[in-house]
Amino acid sequence: MAAPPDPVSPGSAAQTWKLLTVARIKPLQEGATASVIKADDSSVVVHRDPTEVADDDEEDAPGGTAAFALDKVCGPEAPQEEVYGLLKPVVTGATKGRNGCVFAYGQTGSGKTHTVVGGDSFRERGLVPRAISQIFRYASKRQPAKVSVSATFAQVYDDVLYDLLDPRNSGENVDDWVKARVLEDNGSLKFDGLAEYEAASEADALRLLWLGSERRKTGRTKANDLSSRSHAVFTLYVFDEEARTRAKLHLVDLAGSERFSYRTKDVASFESRNINLSLHHLEHVVRTLCETSPALSPRKHVPYRNSVLTSMLRDSLGGNCRTALVATLAADAEHARESAATLRFARRCGAVKAVAVQRNLDLDPGEQLVARLREENRTLRAALREADGALTKAADDADRALRRAAAAEAKARDLQQALDGPRGHRAASTSDSDAPPPRASAPSPSQPPPNPRDLLSRGAVVLKHGRTGLQSVQPRFAWVSAERVLRWRRLGDGGDGDGDASGSARLADYADVEAGGDVRRSRRSSMGGALDSCALTLIPAGEDRPLTLQFDAGSAAASTALRDDWLAALRAAVAAAQADDAASGTV
């Protein structure tokens, strides 16, 4: 039957999740020598025989000591409760509408099935029974709200999918069982021939677990008298009618990984070959996910379809799911090679990129469309904010570059004057209309109106005058000369074809100076919004065109302060120019 749909609600709060890696070391057998040692809470050390010959596919040298860093490490004394406590967030997420997956990986006889299913006593319960108890405790607290739980139990044997709960699949010969299939429908997975069974209580769910576990294919190997020869996937579906959330929780007990030429000389080579092949495909998927994330690079091919196991776990590996790996390790020296291989796989899993896990809401098509559009709106707004921040940073960088260029120009001019000596002294005695004035600090409010000469290093000025259009004037290149003439100069940057440009305006030709003006926004501005409030206009006494100056000092407050200083200075200069002309009879 089809698996319940997973309509991810874009409007639900996404939580970042990185694949959790946990190592569990099996207690050492009596009389054996330990080769796998817990170094601390997040690292394992494996001691190898220095004389051991490496296999062709081993990444590191076989001999000596190798250390592996994971998220958590449980030593041989760690009880089942401690291991489950590390994996509990995955189960809790399923009760909140977030998909989850926990899979146990390790060599034959390292304790995978004990970790997943558990032992004979209540205290030795494994991951699945404890997860079932937690989910039904959540359901009881939600009363009278309706929380429904259902389950499937699948077996992958010889890369073929079987339903362990199908009454027809109870015979000894697996070839006589009814085969199931993994299908895809518009990007979602469907399982044809895999039935979903409702579990009205914790006892019902446990009954389904024990029934499927008894039918699971096992066999005898040198490492384990009752070795799992198939992959088992027990899946719980949790639906909360009040919260309208639906999630699935995969609990996976993989078949034992082992070196074919080393461990399986006298076991069924057919089973071992297919187990190793399916685990190889799983490792290939993990390697690909380490290189890229499907969410970030959807065109990157991830080989999920290479095996039935990876097809089933497609949405659990690199998808919208909280995923955890339990790497089980045999501590004795005889199994050091397999333990190192298991830890290498766990280390690769830990390198898989983090994903954003969202809640799955059970919505009708109309509601899904509204939620999708709302999410697109949120995404676009976030992108706009990010772009806005990038533009602001670029504008700030440009402002800093302009100030550095102005400072370098001032130093170069000062150095040239020092080198010129007497010629520099004579040049300084001539009219200051030939060169920009030196930098001076801005005056305090208690001083007379500032001279525009003293404001040059505080920001850029843009002038609009006659037919010359807008001219971007850098610091130190706009000033008022001793003849009461406003002068400006622009240095060409070679990028737009403009060379050096200069201009002037006789202040005696203007009647007044007003704040504001009709100036279009400077592309270089970092202030944003309209810039009329950061401009001033010289009103002509006759029919000449007004002269508008726009100021940009990197922020609205700084630009307004610069404009006000210029306003006071130019009003004083215009008044002085008119007085000079009146006294000389030239007005």
Is 542 annotated to bind ligand?
no
**Alpha carbons 398 and 475: distance in angstroms, whole number:** 13
Q: Quick one: which of 45, 47, 52 has its CA closest to 69?
A: 45
C-alpha 517: how far from chain center = 45
Is 111 annotated to bind ligand?
yes
* C-alpha distances in Å from residue 175, one per residue of 109, 172, 230, 398: 26, 9, 14, 73
Is 218 annotated to bind ligand?
no
Is 109 annotated to bind ligand?
yes
**Alpha carbons 303 and 282: distance in angstroms, whole number:** 9
Checking 62-66 for CB contacts under 8 A at 24+ apart, the result is 62/337, 62/340, 66/340, 66/343
Locate 330 and state its tokens: 């045999």
Q: Are 459 and 475 in contact (CB under 8 A)?
A: yes
Q: Quick one: which of 76, 78, 134, 102 has its CA closest to 17?
A: 102
**Alpha carbons 390 and 408: distance in angstroms, whole number:** 27
For 412-431, the DSSP string reads HHHHHHHHHTHHHHHHHHS-
**Helices and strands (DSSP H and E) totals, the chain:** 11, 26
What number of residues does the chain have?
587
**Alpha-carbon radius of gyration of the chain:** 38
Is 113 annotated to bind ligand?
yes
Residues 6+ apart with CB under 8 A from 275: 229, 255, 256, 257, 258
Is 106 annotated to bind ligand?
yes
**Parallel/antiparallel/unpaired status of strands 485-490 and 501-506:** antiparallel
Locate 67 and state its tokens: 């250390």
**Alpha carbons 96 and 245: distance in angstroms, whole number:** 7
Positive or negative torsion for Cα 84, 87, 92, 95: negative
C-alpha 382: how far from chain center = 14
Binding site feature residues: 106-113
Binding site feature residues for ATP: 106-113
